[in-house]
Amino acid sequence: MKAFVVEKYGDRAGTRAAEVPDPEVGAEDVLVRIDAAGVNPLDVRIRNGDFKAFLPYRLPLVLGNDLAGTVVRTGPSVTRFAVGDRVYGRPDKGRIGTFAELLAVHQDDLAPKPATLTMTEAASLPLVALTAWQALVERAQVRPGQKVLIHAGAGGLGSVAVQLAKALGAHVATTVSTAKAESAKELGADVVIDYRTQDFEELLDGYDVVLDSLGGVNLAKSLRVLKRGGVAVSVAGPPDPAFARELGVNPLLRLAMTALSFRTRRVAERHGVTYSFLFMKASGDQLRRLTPLIDAGKIRPVVDRVFPFDETLEAIEYVEKGRARVGKVVVDMA
């Protein structure tokens, strides 16, 4: 089958189209013919080797973390799906590879595709929708009436997180560029801050939850807009000890992660708030819980641009250079 593989960590030069063997299908695996695949900043970071210390992939590696497609074969122990089912999902972090014609995915990592979405729309959602769910529902336990700040609210993650927070009954603020302000309002944001001309730290106070996707100075300022007892969840900040324990990394790497996040955790402690690093996990069950919100129109996919499969490298470069105006970029196999 045709796939886009990383042969050497680094820039685009180390990634190319190649013919690779069809996937092996385990007892609880579902073989999916991929119709569309979402493109994420995570794909760029994996290609660059940013996570090789704790995600030791064997090269060559097929890239891609989002899919929507059709079941073409099932393992003998599969009970949730049958040939012909239309599905969507994010494969487990150790079994990525959606920039390909086929992928074997554990049945627990898939869900039936929402009936109201096309394959292209469905492929844009799994990674960002699961990240938003795990941040806002699992970690922060957002409740009606709470104040939630979501950074980059018109981006791939932010556009879904804003909608999910509103569906949970929260008052939502977000930061965007001038050109994306109207898009953020259309998604439901109550307060839209233009980060080019405004400082969110000067305008916001007493927030219950922050979802940070930028890290650095942005994360440090976010801790200061939280009220005591608030929660900051970051997908871009330094890994914390809880993440190290979850991964089961060796003691040296665990010590390094603890040291990396020490300053952030100490500042959070001084402000009486909690800092949590999130590296999302695959979950078909959580996608099933999201699907009714999607089919009811409370969460709608936002797709910036669709590339043909042959232009997957161009799609990755488009994401890497931040060219998307709003929402997600998708590769369409058709």
CATH placement of domain 127-277? 3.40.50.720
pLDDT (0 to 100) of residue 326: 92
Nearest-angstrom CA–CA distance, 14 and 34: 23
Q: What is the pLDDT of residue 247?
A: 81
Sequence-separated (6 or more) residues with CB below 8 Å from residue 265: 240, 275
**From CA 83, how far away is CA 30, in angstroms rounded?**
9
Mean of pLDDT values over 56-85? 97
pLDDT of residue 48: 96
User: DSSP assignment, residue 113?
Assistant: P
Strand order in the sheet with 2-6: 15-19, 2-6, 61-62
CB 136 within 8 A of CB 161: yes
CB 126 within 8 A of CB 287: yes
Region 93-114 average pLDDT: 97
- The pLDDT assigned to 55 comes to 83
C-alpha to C-alpha distances, 248 to 65, 103, 244, 281, nearest whole angstrom: 22, 26, 6, 15
Residue 20 banded pLDDT, cuts 50, 70, 90: very high
Question: What average pLDDT does this structure show over 107-118?
Answer: 98
Query: What pLDDT band is residue 90 in, cutting at 50, 70 and 90?
Result: very high
Those residues with Cβ within 8 angstroms of residue 313's Cβ, 6 or more apart along the chain or in another chain: 4, 12, 15, 16, 17
pLDDT digits 0-9 by tens, 185-225: 999 999 999 999 999 999 999 999 999 999 999 999 999 99
CATH of span 2-125+301-332? 3.90.180.10
* Encoded amino acid at 21, one letter: P
Distance, in Å, from the CA atom of 326 to the CA atom of 324, rounded to the nearest integer, reads 6
The reply to whether 2-125+301-332 and 127-277 are identical in fold is no
CA 310/CA 54 separation, integer angstroms: 31
Alpha-carbon span 157 to 19, nearest angstrom: 32
* Mean pLDDT computed over 263-282: 96
Beta bridge partners of 308: 332
**Domain chopping of the chain, boundaries:** 2-125+301-332, 127-277
The average pLDDT across 302-307 equals 97
Q: What does pTM read for this prediction?
A: 0.96
For residue 119, give both structure tokens: 């394959």
Residue of 272, 254, 276 whose CA lies nearest to 54: 254
- Largest separation between any pair of C-alpha atoms in the chain: 58
Contact 214, 157 (CB under 8 A): no
Q: Find all residues with CB under 8 Å of 327, minimum gap 6, and list them.
A: 124, 154, 155, 156, 159, 301, 302, 303, 304
Looking at residue 121, what is its pLDDT? Answer: 98
Using the predicted structure, report yes or no on whether residue 106 has a pLDDT greater than 90. yes
User: What percent of the chain lies above the pLDDT cut of 90?
Assistant: 91
pLDDT at 249 over 80: no
The DSSP output letter for 174 is E
Mean pLDDT, the chain, integer: 96
Does position 238 have pLDDT exceeding 80, yes or no? yes
- Residues 314-328 pLDDT 10s: 999 999 999 888 999
pLDDT tier for residue 14 given thresholds of 50, 70 and 90: very high
- Contact present, 197 and 173 (Cβ < 8 Å): no
pLDDT at 258 over 90: no
Kindly compute the dihedral angle of the four CA atoms of residues 8, 37, 139, 273, in this order, to the nearest 10 degrees: 60
Cis peptide leading into residue 56 (ω within 30°): no
Distance of CA 326 to the CA centre of its chain: 15
Look at residue 250 in the predicted model and tell me its pLDDT.
82
The answer, yes or no, to whether residue 52 has pLDDT greater than 80, is yes
